[in-house]
Amino acid sequence: MRTDMLWSGWGDPAEATALGPEVGDLLREALGVKAPTPALSREEVRLADSRLEDSARERLGAVTGEEHLREDADSRLLHTRGKSMPDLLRIRSGQTDDAPDAVLLPGSHEEVLELLRVCGEDRIAVVPFGGGTSVVGGLEPRRAGFAAVVALDLRRLDRLLELDEVSRTATFEPGLRGPDAERLLGERGYTIGHHPQSFLFATIGGFAAARSSGQASAGYGRFDERVVGLRIATPRGTVDLGRAPKSAAGPDLRQLFLGSEGAFGVITAVRVEVRPAPPVCIYEGWRFASFADGVAALRRLIQDGPVPTVLRLSDEAETALNLARPQDFGAGNAGGCLGIAGYEGTEEDVEARRDGAADVLRELGAELDAEAGESWERGRYKGPYLRDALLDAGALAETLETTTFWSGLDGLYASVGGALRETLTRLGTPPVVLCHISHVYPSGASLYFTVGAAQLEDPLAQWRAAKAAANDAIIAAGGSITHHHGVGTDHREHFAQEIGDLGVETLRAVKATLDPDGILNPGVLIG
């Protein structure tokens, strides 16, 4: 039975995090948090009546079956926006102005095509919906100019269509959540190896549409790097891509849809490379004297090897608060900077890479902290629950991420952290700014920032100011506006700066060709 995420927060309500009294003291003393800001009860939240006209309802229901067209308040509320802090602040206060007018649950590629045809004719905006885990406004369409908005929930498209053991690829429908895809593969002895923090709720289609990157990306690569085939339903018809893993037959159009966030089409099948499930998985911690020392060690390993499967590093502030292990938040530890190295594979492979990496890390001054790795593995999906608890307590708590080449990493780290501190301090809420590296490549790495501050009376305006300053700093420092969260609506303006006017014009031409009526996720990715 599929568990829907909490309407006012992240994930399964049964897994919610409770803050201990020592954390409350920390929030008051360090951030100046004054009073709790709990969410409204479900009974206090009201939705406007659906704007879906009777004729459109009848036509759409004829495609999906009436039982798969839902207009009840709970279904609409569960498909309202994603899970960014602004998304949650608005819904927790009862703002439901952009709730979809209906939720459609197609059961096949052909049904998706027909729904898009009907919606185009009736000027209905369509928001493809997988796990609902977007944290960049990716599920917040522009309503202006449309008769209604519907969420296209792909959960019924949940099959493993093919496992090609000769080529070691698997073809999935898009609505499978991460754990279900891994279970189906595991029954045959395989894995994708893709475990982002959203793993428990995000879907195969979402992984592809947002260029997701998992916690074991050092060993398995990003999800988009593993995709070798796509089937896409567009308002103009079907696009089938991926006759071979690589090809010189013109530009690779797979890359056009990977990261398109539902603005160009609805992904209905994904063919992805798989590997034999690893019999051995070991995670261990390493302590560095400074963030700079840890960065040098990560770069040495990823460039010269041996390469761990998981390779992460928290800065001094994140290490001090134990945010690398959210279940231990605020408990304190030995200091310095905590790195995590994980190894997955056969016993022989794991032993060789682990021993070789340990030699390199010790040579560079790191000290082993084996328990920290095991603790990280136990809490690897807990971070978003902690954010919800901090919002309840009256704190502003949000994340943002970026990426650049190694030569620009120090400058980017300083610029983004400085912009956040300066902006929030000027507003009267001096923040704590934490950072970690969670994805590394021979030529560069990502930076993932977590920001905490006391909430002002208008926390949305407070965060918008801080996020705008951080985004400006990213562009000025030569970084990319996003590494794996995507563009959505939150990053749209800075994404346009990153790719330039001609780049935007190119993407608009693509959208005009595939989606001439502009019904797919309007306002997301490009204006």
Q: What's the pLDDT at 238?
A: 98
Element (H, E) at 293: helix 291-304
Tell me the two tokens of residue 467: 């996020």
Q: Is the pTM of this model over 0.85?
A: yes
**Could you give the 3-state DSSP secondary structure of residue 447?**
strand
* Cα dist from 398 to 54, 176, 282, 416, whole Å: 41, 27, 30, 14
CATH number of 280-378: 3.30.70.3450
Q: What's the pLDDT at 333?
A: 60
Q: What's the pLDDT at 334?
A: 61
Cα dihedral sign, 173-379-363-405:
positive
Q: Which of 429, 420, 391, 460 lies closest to 86, judged by CA?
A: 460
- Report yes or no: 12 and 199 within 8 Å, Cβ to Cβ: no
Q: What's the pLDDT at 458?
A: 97
Pairing of strands 337-345, 310-314: antiparallel
Q: What's the pLDDT at 328?
A: 64
Q: Which of 301, 324, 321 lies closest to 311, judged by CA?
A: 301
Q: How far is CA 465 from the centre of its chain?
A: 22
Q: Output the CA angle 98-101-106, nearest 5 degrees.
A: 120
Q: What's the pLDDT at 370?
A: 85
Tell me the two tokens of residue 243: 């006759």
Q: pLDDT tens for the chain, 527 residues: list them.
A: 688 899 999 999 888 888 888 888 889 998 999 999 999 999 999 999 999 999 999 999 999 999 999 999 999 999 999 999 999 999 999 999 999 999 999 999 999 999 999 999 999 999 999 999 999 999 999 999 999 999 999 999 999 999 999 999 999 999 999 999 999 999 999 999 999 999 999 999 999 999 999 999 999 999 999 999 999 999 999 999 999 999 999 999 999 999 999 999 999 999 999 999 999 999 999 999 999 999 999 999 999 999 999 999 999 999 998 766 666 665 556 679 999 999 999 999 999 999 999 999 999 999 999 899 999 999 999 999 999 999 999 999 999 999 999 999 999 999 999 999 999 999 999 999 999 999 999 999 999 999 999 999 999 999 999 999 999 999 999 999 999 999 999 999 999 999 999 999 999 999 999 999 999 999 999 98
- Report yes or no: 477 and 204 within 8 Å, Cβ to Cβ: no
| Cβ-Cβ contacts under 8 Å for 76 (sequence gap 6 or more) | 47, 50, 70, 99, 100, 101, 102, 103, 151
Omega before residue 106 within 30° of 0, cis: no
**Secondary-structure class of domain 28-153 per CATH:** alpha beta
| Cβ-Cβ contacts under 8 Å for 337 (sequence gap 6 or more) | 287, 288, 289, 290, 291, 293, 294, 313, 314, 315, 316, 319
Q: How far is CA 513 from the centre of its chain?
A: 28
Q: What's the pLDDT at 42?
A: 95
Tell me the two tokens of residue 385: 């629950």
Report the phi/psi class of residue 283: left, alpha or beta, with left for phi > 0 and alpha for psi in -120 to 50. beta
**Could you give the 3-state DSSP secondary structure of residue 231?**
strand
Q: How far apart are the first and last CA of the chain?
A: 38
Where do the domains of the chain lie? 28-153, 280-378
